[in-house]
Structures are given as structure tokens and as C-alpha cells.
Amino acid sequence: MPIRTVIEPFKIKTVEPIRWTTREEREPILARAHHNVFLIPADEILIDLLTDSGTAAMSTRQWASMMEGDESYAGSRSFVRFEAAVRDIFGYKHVIPTHQGRASERLLFTCLCKKGDVVPNNTHFDTTRANIEYQGAEAVDLVIPEGKDPGNRHPFKGNMDVEALAHLIERVGRERIPLVMLTVTNNSGGGQPVSIANARAVADLCHRHGIPLYFDACRFAENAYFIKLREPGYAGTTPKEIAREMFALGDGCTMSAKKDGLANIGGFLCTNDDALAQQEENLSILTEGYPTYGGLAGRDLEAIAVGLDEALEEDYLHYRISSTAYLGNHISAEGVPIVQPPGGHAIYIDARGFLPQIPPARFPGVALACELFLEGGIRAVEIGTLMFGAHAAMDLVRLAIPRRVYTQSHMDYVVEVILEVWKRRERIRGLELTYEAPFLRHFTAHLTPV
């Protein structure tokens, strides 16, 4: 009889205490944070599912490699190892380190975009959209229709609508589209994967029109494993081989190594374009640092070099995808509406389905995130009307699971809290804004119940 329990493929060597609080303690904490979970001090959180970015537990191999960090300002050994690790997987000619993914986006869009340009994506995430719009360009989401339906179980709901992309190119003209992006996995749409077939179709269309294709590669390893599980012809292929095949379709990528790099800081920008790389390196010197460290310490470059390799290990990916699905399947079985099928790095609760009495203008996702904190000290994040305004096709609450941090018993606790909130969902009220910033307002917004 096969063993059915999926266990963590690691042993715990160091522990960090969690501070317990009561609901009575959490109510004034939330009020002081203006009902924005971003503004709650981390010490007041019991289970932190705000993000999977930079929150991973590093391995013994990563910690050991950090001791070899070469902190030379230019041309360090650590950069050589980092560059080799990135090229081994992504295959691009130029590798520019940055302190995190949004810095890579800034370099790319500053060099490629101007006012009036249009940048298509399956779905832009918040910093991607903001960096494009900061240049005066327009960010356009072109995910397939199934990707906008939370209950649809399409295996690759992150796919781009290729027909819609073709129509966009025809409507605005190739000269207004400096690049096309493809986000793998599609974070804003529920952590849903993109198939190789779709990536190839997008690449073929782009290259016919002479438009560069760039990947937002933050969760490339999880995307590769979904392809192995779901796309015909890839069951016998390794995640690394799948990743190499996908990236060979593009002209470059942005990457936050705080996700599938299993590191606490760092990222990179890749391109095959020599002239563009020179522009990006010059801008990097101005804002990030010398091109062989890019705002990172040598020890961080070492940690990423090891983490990229560990993120592609099949035992780890099997555990990662299975543990995320464990959370989603348990709450879904009790009627909680989630984005189906469960994503790779997070479970996304459909806040509009959970709280139908709250219209999008009253931020149902924020209301639900606040209730999860009040009920059990859990911090999640709204991905919806507060984050994206009029661009929000859905109001979701993302429960992003840090890598190698929480155990199954932690997830069991999260299930219990969500189901308690589900039982009294009719009594939850919406919120209204009292303060918002001009860009990325969800990070610092102030709200109050109505």
C-alpha cells in the first residue's frame, strides 16, 4: 500500500517563537493599523501569510554558501557563481543582479517604455503595473476568460489570450508595444500556471511582429512543476528541463529571487539584447550598484545561486504544491469559495463569493483579511479593488504560504480560523478609504468600517 501522507522533505534545525494574542488584544491592534494588515507589526501576527516573497527558510546549504560570500565591489567570485547558476536555468546572455524584482522591473521599463506605449501581460502584478504606468505607458491584462472565473478548473488558467493579443497589436500598432510580458505563475489570477503550448504561441506571435517577449519568472519552478503534472508530453521531463524550454522562447526575464530563489532578498534582470543590457547596466550603477553586485551583498548572491537549484528539486516541489492544495481543498470542501484549482504558492479566497453583501467599492477582500486577523491572528492580503482599482476583475484574499516555514499543523489551524469566519460571514461589514497614496495605495491605505 503506498504511503499517502506528504511530509515536509526537511528536518527543522532552528525554531522561531510565535506570539499568541487574543481577539480582545487584536481589535485595538487592527484599529491602530487603520484596518490595513500591511500596517500591523509582524510581532502581533500569529501566522503570516501576507506574502511568500522573502519569507522562506533557507537551507543549510544556503547558509554554508553565505560564508563564502565575496564582498568585493567589482567582479566578485560570488557574482561569477550567481551568474553561472542563473544562466544554467534561464539561458540568457546578460544577467544583471538587483536587490529585488521591482528593481528589475524599473530597469526594464525605464529603458524600454515611454508615454503612450502599451505593455500586454497575462495579468500584471501590482509593482509591474505601477512601474509601467510610472513611465506613462499602459499596462493591459490579457488572461484567458477562464482565468477570470474563480470556480473554473482549467489546468492552465494563467495562459494569455493569444487572440486578444493579436487584436491588441492590430489595434494599437506594433510600434506602441515595446515588449510583451508573461507572468509564470500568474500571481494576480490565483497563482495559476502557464502552459508551454501557450508560451510558445505567445512567442510565435511576438516574434512575427518583432516584439520582444519577457517573462516575469518569480515562480518559475512552481510553474514548471505544474507543466510536468498537467501538460501532455512532460510527465517524464524534469522541472529544470521544462524551465529551460520555456525561457528559450523569450528574449529575457525579470525575477524576484525572494520567491523561487528561496532567498530573503535579491533578484535579477536578464536579456539577450546587447544594447539594452548596456543601458540597463548604466542605470543599475546609478540606482542599484555596480553590475556585479546590483545592491546585494556577496553572501546574498551565494544564497540565490544555491536556492535556484533547490527550488527545482522534485521532492520539494511535490511537497510545496501538495501542501498548498491541502489548505485549499479543506476549506473548499466546507463551501468556502476559492480560485480553482489551488495555485502553487497560495490559496486565493473569492471574497465576492464569500461576502456577497459587500460590493467591490466597499472592499470585500480587505474586510475578509481583517476578519481573519481578528479571528485568529492570521495575516493575508487583498488582491482586488483596493490593490488594482478599476482594473480588478476579481476581489481575492491571498493566503501566500512562505516556503519551508510552516508545518501541516499550522495549516490545520488556518483552516479552523477560516471556517469560523465562514460561519458568521453574513455579519461582516465593508470598509471605506480615508487615505490613499497615488501609487500602490494598498500598501499604506487607511480604511474604516462602514
Q: Express each pLDDT in 36-47 by its tens digit.
A: 999 999 999 999
Q: How confident is the model at residue 3 (pLDDT cuts 50, 70, 90)?
A: low
User: Is-same-fold flag (23-52+314-449; 60-310)?
Assistant: no
Average confidence score pLDDT of the chain: 96
Whether the per-residue pLDDT at 188 is higher than 90: the answer is: no
Whether the per-residue pLDDT at 1 is higher than 80: the answer is: no
pLDDT tens column, 372-395: 999 999 999 999 999 999 888 899
Closest listed residue to residue 315, CA positions, set 19, 59, 69: 59
Tracing cell 472565473 back to the chain, one arrives at 149
* Mean pLDDT value of segment 388-406: 93
CB 133 within 8 A of CB 114: no
Closest listed residue to residue 122, CA positions, set 202, 227, 210: 202
Domain 60-310 has CATH 3.40.640.10: yes
CB 105 within 8 A of CB 99: no
Tell whether omega for the bond before 407 is within 30 degrees of 0, i.e. cis.
no
pLDDT tens column, 112-160: 999 999 999 999 998 999 999 999 999 999 999 999 999 999 999 999 9
Closest listed residue to residue 318, CA positions, set 2, 29, 22, 4: 4
Whether the per-residue pLDDT at 2 is higher than 80: the answer is: no
The pTM of the full predicted model, rounded to 2 decimals, is 0.94
- Residue 391 is predicted with a pLDDT of 86
Q: Give 157's Cβ-side CA count (13 Å radius).
A: 22
Q: How confident is the model at residue 5 (pLDDT cuts 50, 70, 90)?
A: confident
Instruction: Give the domain ranges of the chain.
Output: 23-52+314-449, 60-310
Rounded CA gap, 386 and 124, in Å? 15
Q: How confident is the model at residue 293 (pLDDT cuts 50, 70, 90)?
A: very high
CATH, domain range 23-52+314-449: 3.90.1150.10
Q: Is 34 left (phi over 0), alpha (psi -120 to 50) or beta?
A: left
Q: How many percent of the chain have pLDDT more than 70?
A: 99
pLDDT tens column, 263-279: 999 999 999 999 999 99
